[in-house]
Amino acid sequence: MSSAFYTLVGAVLVLGVMILVHEFGHFAAAKLLGVRVEVFSIGFGKRLFGFRRGDTDYRISALPLGGYVKMTGVNAIEMKEERPEGAEAGDSGEFLHHPRWQRLIIAVAGPAANVVLAVLLLTVVFSLHHEIPYGFYQPAVVGWCQPGSAAAQAGLKEGDQIVQIGDVQNPIWQDVQNKVLISPNQPLALRVRRGKEVLPITLVPKAEGKQQSGDAGWLPSKPFLVTALEKDMPGTLAGMQIGDEIVSVDGKPIHATGAMQAYLQSTKDRPVHLEILRQNAPVELTVTPKLAKVEEGPTQSYRIGFVSEPMQVEKLSVSRAFGRSVEECKKLSGLIFELVGRMAERKVSMKQMSGPIEIVRVSGEMVHHRNANDLMEFMAMISLQLGLFNLLPIPILDGGLIAMLLVEAVMRRDINEAIKIRLYQAAFVCLVLFAGMVIFNDVVKMLPGQ
């Protein structure tokens, strides 16, 4: 099947489901509180078919990317002629006729539905089969620093344990990775335990890749296991096997692929002696590196032809999975708000933000090349981000309505209708410009060489 098919399926499964869940949150709260819902649509655009029950037209529309809910009098700029027949301003079914606390519940229900979905999806993932890079949830002990990287320039060494990064005490590698990602070209204060000493170190991650996210150039301490072998390459021909743990190369302790690559470029095609642990038994092999193309690009280097990406598999009880899911959502929420703040301060590139085009593209790749757990984890992340984005205090978004309702509650009177209309109009223009910028970023990321 073509990539276009997988992209379409990915768009429907990810963006479509996320938007639909969001709108269902508003719909359920509105129905519960007695607000008239005129339309609940799966999809956008032209109505294809459906049925009417009570005041609501339940319909399937032409474009299956999400859905929408239309409530009577849902905003301050609805015109009289837009109201359904028989509905008058101030009637009991109109949104604006209901108490502020009820309108607040309806506004919050959409983002809340996205957050709940994210928690449920991650709970399923953690309780069934969750693959994570080795050391992801373990103390942040440095296993290797790439020469010339930010970590190497800061003076970090193999075996250093990061006991503080920014405001996070005793971080695991997940915490460290998150802080580094949102700190490109920004100084990060570390406290590092080296032997019996605790040293203050300043790390300045480099901006790397299409997203211009932070990169320190280090790897966590982990076993140097062979997790994949390339056919007809020296490693396979010499007898290496998946699961082998490389202890040393020519008598030198090497514990990371990057260190191995650097060493092989110095020895070139000279045979190297590997000491290996295979099922806890020592094995010795002699391998002659081969000048071969690197998969990620057109360059060639001396290689043995193996991959070392050890993974850990978790399968938690439902209660533990739920607890982990809530904790993960809390961490990601804090990270998202911190990232938005840094973007507003112009400390982080807007390229770190992905729009609908990028989300659809990645969704298609997930459907095509990854398993169901990976797809659910990705859907959870997008659902959480959608919910949080809608909570931003911007008119037109749910957060804008929530902010206005809270201000009115403090003032104990409604904000002037003319002011509301101007705020909505200004916000609409800003959102259109923002959407254009995000979509432009998505397109640029897809261009060759970016």
| 390-411 pLDDT per residue, tens | 898 887 788 888 988 898 888 8
Indicate if the pLDDT at residue 307 is higher than 70: yes
* Sign of the C-alpha dihedral computed for residues 382, 387, 388 and 392 taken in this order: positive
Residues 142, 404: contact at Cβ < 8 Å?
A: no
Residues 157, 145: contact at Cβ < 8 Å?
A: yes
Helices 17-33 and 100-128 pack at an angle, to 10 degrees, of 140
pTM: 0.82
Residue 21 to residue 386: CA distance in whole angstroms: 11
Residues of the chain with CATH 2.30.42.10: 142-219, 228-308
Side-chain half-sphere of 284: how many Cα atoms within 13 Å?
5
Gyration radius (Cα) of the chain, Å: 27
Nearest to 292 by CA among 281, 303, 307: 303
CATH topology of domain 142-219: Pdz3 Domain (2.30.42)
Please state whether beta strands 213-215 and 206-208 pair in parallel, antiparallel, or not at all (unpaired).
antiparallel
Judged by DSSP in three states, 187 sits in coil
* Sign of the C-alpha dihedral computed for residues 88, 90, 91 and 94 taken in this order: positive
Residue 385 to residue 381: CA distance in whole angstroms: 6
Judged by DSSP in three states, 354 sits in coil
Please write the tens of the pLDDT for every residue from 347-406. Answer: 877 777 777 778 878 888 888 778 888 889 999 999 999 899 889 888 778 888 898 889
Residues 268, 290: contact at Cβ < 8 Å?
A: no
Query: Considering the chain, what percentage of its residues have pLDDT values greater than 90?
Result: 40
Q: Classify domain 228-308 by CATH number.
A: 2.30.42.10
Please write the tens of the pLDDT for every residue from 152-186. Answer: 999 999 899 999 998 899 999 999 999 999 899 99
Q: How many CB atoms lie within 10 A of CB 89?
A: 12
Predicted confidence at residue 75, as pLDDT, reads 53
Tokens of 292: 């071969």
Please write the tens of the pLDDT for every residue from 122-134. Answer: 999 999 888 888 8
Predicted confidence at residue 140, as pLDDT, reads 92
Exposure of 316 by Cβ count < 10 A (0-12 exposed, 13-18 middle, 19+ buried)?
A: middle
